[in-house]
Structures are given as structure tokens and as C-alpha cells.
Amino acid sequence: MKINEIFLGVEGEGLEIGIPKIFIRTQGCGIRCSVCDTPQALNPSGGVEMDVEDIVGKVMELTKYKRISDHITVTGGSPLECNRKELIYLLELLKLDGYWITLEESGQVYCKNIFDVCDFLSIDAKSPSTGVKINYKVHNLLYNNYLDKTQIKIIVRDEKDLEFVEEYLERYSVFSRIERLYEVIVTPCWEIRESFRTFRSRTKWIHREVLKRGLSVRVIPQLHKIIYGTKRVSV
């Protein structure tokens, strides 16, 4: 598998925010969101080729050395653009070793075999500012089959993005009312070139609008960016 990095960190976004984890970042993503904050993981020719057993060995080394928790996030790039047989093999080995596995993905691709193995799915719903059109077929399948272990993350940069959030909530409102409220996470956009002042102003605006419009979402800024800024940081 092509790997960009494997590192120890603290989950910075979504419902698992604050949990110490091992992050496995795969290399390669053809989706090309305009607000991507990990451009170093986009080029499929980058990264390092690693055997699945070596990846597991690195994870266990970090876990043992740092005495950290048994949580792992597989992110990217786009993990589903890797060799899926190798990815499933990796996930199965990690599960056998007792790790809790979160998969971060774009919401553009559906893969039952991989989703079944994971404990938690962190899936994007692509808002207009990303420059990517959401794949509603994938989201329909997620809501019908994996609602009990899925969070939906939506980046909000401007008014069009907030309108998209309203439309998304309306589309899937029956699931929210019956099963679980607040599984949709609004992530205030903070692009690499923007100042903290801009990010703070946008976040305050989103808070006001969520309350004003009565949206059943959680507004969770990215903790790692608040602490470290928008630069790339690994521990």
C-alpha cells in the first residue's frame, strides 16, 4: 500500500474529538477538493510503498512505545483509492489485534466490505465550496445501512455551503428524527492561506446561523488547527 505517513496524534474533529490515536494516512486522492488541507497526500506517485505487515508493525511500535490508546484512524488521501484487498487485509489484522478503527472517507465511493470491518465511519458530504458534487447514491446507502456508526462532516465556508447543509438535513430528516439527532457535523472551513481572525469570524457566523435557522447539527471546529495553526503537524 502507498502510505503518506503513520503518526501518533489526538483526534481533532468530529464526534471522536480529543481521543489519542494512531493515524494511518494513505497516499493518493483523485477527488481534488478545492479546500483540501492535506495536499501532500494527493499525488498517487508520492508516499512510500509498505507491506501490510510492516504497517501493522509500525502501529504496534507506536502504541507500545507511547502507551497510547487502541484507537486508529485510517485517512488520506482517499483510503478507498488504495488496493482494496490490501486495505481489507490491513483492517482485519488491526481488528484481530483489538484496535478500534475509524475510516475517514470522501462520501464519493461506497464499499460494503470495507465499511463492514470498520467500527466508525467519518464521511464527508461535499459542500459547494469544495468544488466537488456530492454523490447522493453513496449517502443513501450509508443512511440505510450504517447510520448507527456513521458521522457526516460538512465543511462550511459561506452562505451557499450553509444552504447546502439545510438541504442535506431536509433530505435525510426522517433518519435523524427516528434514529439519532446531531450525527451531522459542521466543520468551519479554515484554509491554509487564511488567518485565524478570518476563521474565528466565520465560526462565529456559523454559530449564529445554526441557532437562527434551528439546524440539528454539531458545530465542531478542527481542534488541531486551533492548537497548531494550518501548518502540517505530526507527533
Q: Which fold has domain 2-228?
A: TIM Barrel (3.20.20)
Phi, psi of 178 (to 5 degrees): -80, -45
Predicted model pTM: 0.92
Nearest-angstrom CA–CA distance, 45 and 28: 7
pLDDT digits (tens, 9 = 90+) for 175-209: 765 455 558 999 999 887 788 899 999 999 999 99
What is the structure's pLDDT at 176?
63
Residue 67 has pLDDT above 80, yes or no: no
Which residues have C-beta within 8 Å of that of residue 165, sequence separation ≥ 6? 127, 154, 156, 184, 186, 215, 217
Reported as a pLDDT band with limits 50, 70 and 90, residue 117 is very high
**pLDDT given at position 65:** 60
pLDDT of residue 38: 87
Q: What is the pLDDT of residue 209?
A: 97
| pLDDT per residue as tens digits for the range 143-184 | 999 988 999 999 999 999 999 999 999 999 877 654 555 589
Q: Which residue has the higher pLDDT, 83 or 227?
A: 83
**Whether 188 contacts 49, CB under 8 Å:** no
Please, what is the average pLDDT of the chain? Answer: 90
pLDDT of residue 178: 45
